[in-house]
Amino acid sequence: MTCTPSHKTLLILNEAHRKIGLQPDADNCLQIAVSFDGSWLTRGHKSLIGIGAVIDILTDLVIDTHVLSLHCQICATTGAKIKKEKSNNYEQWLQEHKESGSCTINFGGVSGMMEVEAATILWARSVEKFRLKYTTFVGDGDSKAYNKVCDLAPYGPDVEIEKEECLNHVGKRMGAALRNVVSDCSKRGITLGGRGSGRLTANAIRKLSIYYTHGIRSHDTAAEMKKAILASLHHCYSTDEHPQHSYCLSGLDSWCYFKKGLARHQFVFGHKKESIHLKILIASQAPHAHL
Burial class (CB in 10 A: 0-12, 13-18, 19+), 145: buried
pLDDT in tens, 143-172: 789 999 999 999 999 999 999 877 777 788
How many residues are there in the chain? 291
- Domain borders along the chain are 2-70+105-165, 169-284
Bridge partners of 163, per DSSP, are: 137
pLDDT-derived band at 235 (thresholds 50, 70, 90) equals confident
CA torsion sign for 145, 146, 151, 156 is positive
Q: Is the pLDDT of residue 20 over 50?
A: yes
**Percent residues over pLDDT 70 in the chain:** 86
pLDDT-derived band at 280 (thresholds 50, 70, 90) equals very low
| Number of Cβ within a 10 Å radius of residue 126 | 22
> Is the domain covering 2-70+105-165 a CATH 3.30.420 domain?
yes
Predicted local distance difference test score (pLDDT) of residue 136:
95
Task: Indicate whether this model's pTM tops 0.85.
Answer: no
Predicted local distance difference test score (pLDDT) of residue 76:
92
Nearest to 37 by CA among 52, 55, 16: 52
